[in-house]
Amino acid sequence: MQWSFLFLSLAATSTALIRFQCSQLVTQRLDPLVTPGMIPSPHVHQIVGGNSFNATMDPKKDMPGESDCTTCQMADDFSNYWTAVLYFKARNGTYKRVRQLANSGFDGAAGGGMTVYYMQDALYDTKQPSKVSAFQPGFRMFIGNVQARTMDEAARFRQLTYTCLETPATRDHETIALPKKVCPAGIMSSLRFPNCWDGKNLDSPDHLSHMSYPSSGTFESGGPCPSTHPVRTSQVMFEVIWDTRPFNNPDDWPLDGSQPFVWSFGDATGYANHADYVFGWKDDSLQKILDTPCYVNCDTARTQSIAEMNKCAQKAVVEEDIDGWLTELPGGHQAEFAPTPEKR
Ligand SMILES: *[C@@H]1O[C@H](CO)[C@@H](O)[C@H](O)[C@H]1NC(C)=O
Ligand SMILES: *[C@@H]1O[C@H](CO)[C@@H](O)[C@H](O)[C@H]1NC(C)=O
């Protein structure tokens, strides 16, 4: 594949960026960040990372110490990363969960999982020259707007995108809305978190306002952090590949020409794309990696095999059918294909 070739060919250069796969830990209705303690949480998530993930995760606890394994390739990374789950809505109105696919080069990762990046600078900047801070124990953040159903509401989150995969290597033409046409190799969602921290708060009531995107320009252009959020952190990015291939027959698609995919909380526009992050790297292992020049394959990072990652899978606490065909999305949601007045 083009991408694995790109990364292999750059592996020897003197740069600092890490990219790694995490297998699925569990797929279920829990959300220790937005609805701590609620079992089940309002909608289905797919979660990767350390196995101390639970309905309640006390920021004061030592998370790495609580986990005894991680589904991530980086053996010292007990963080949790999660997103909502995509469903296909059939013509008869029932829903089927869309499975995930591992990125090229990570075949065998259980449940597909997702690819995680920590970047100092733009992905294609092979020098990665900026000095950045790792996150502190107890740090967590959320990005996106679950209520968004219009382009206006999503405009603030242009770093949350979809790529219609013509082939597994397609990386251009990102959109803010779900793709409106058949994507032969699946749909990739790319979720880029903000990279400027207020330097004080490990979390905030909306789980977002302690972080900010750069004040001018973009992350990619190395825009400066605003004075309210002066600490430049690593940019965390997820890539999640949704295996829409079983649903690509146009005869199964809606007769009105709309696309049939819907997020587990009902959004079928795609504008409410969102992601959650709970930091859990062991000791200063992340800062060490960030401070040592490397690109993707970093000697400073302790890694484990895909077989070891897969062994860490967790049993769901919430027992319910999340796969389908379901008459409603778990939690009682129905697809919203257009903005409803009360959502505006
Ligand atoms: C999750 O929390 C419950 C108590 O709320 C506990 O019994 C269970 O062992 C925890 N699971 C994990 C994997 O930590
Ligand atoms: C609804 O459609 C799906 C996809 O065609 C099919 O597998 C399922 O059996 C149908 N369910 C009912 C109740 O007709």
**Over the stretch 231-263, which tens digit does the pLDDT of each residue have?**
999 999 999 999 999 999 999 999 988 999 999
C-alpha 92 – ligand 2 centre gap (Å): 6
The residue whose CA is least distant from atom 10 of ligand 1 is 54
Residue 284 has pLDDT above 50, yes or no: yes
Measured from the CB, is residue 67 less than 6 Å from ligand 1?
A: no
Ligand nearest to the backbone CA of 90: 2
The pLDDT value recorded for residue 339 is: 59
Q: Looking at the predicted structure, is the pLDDT value of residue 10 above 70?
A: no
Per-residue pLDDT, 291: 86
Number of H helices, E strands in the chain: 5, 20
Indicate whether residue 297 lines ligand 1 (CB < 6 A).
no
- Nearest CA to 268 out of 162, 165, 131, 186 is that of 162
Domain assignments of the chain as residue spans, ordered by start? 8-311
Position in ligand 2 atom list of the atom nearest CA 91: 2
Alpha-carbon span 141 to 309, nearest angstrom: 24
Going by CA atoms, what residue is nearest to atom 2 of ligand 1? 54
**318: Cβ below 6 Å to ligand 2?**
no
- For residue 65, is pLDDT > 90? no
| Res 217: pLDDT | 66
Residue 15 confidence (pLDDT): 52
Find the 54 Cα to ligand 1 centroid distance in Å. Answer: 6
Q: What is the rounded CA–CA span in Å between residue 46 and residue 84?
A: 6
CB atoms within 10 A of CB 59: 17
pLDDT class for 145, splitting at 50, 70, 90? Answer: very high
Residue 25 or residue 288, greater confidence: 25
Q: Which ligand is nearest to the CA of 26?
A: 1
- Measured from the alpha carbon of residue 94, the closest ligand is 2
pLDDT at 14: 38
**What percentage of the chain exceeds 90 in pLDDT?**
73
Burial (CB count within 10 angstroms: exposed 0-12, middle 13-18, buried 19+), residue 189:
buried
Q: Tokens for 201, please give them.
A: 């708060």
- Which residue did the predictor score with more confidence, 99 or 156? 99
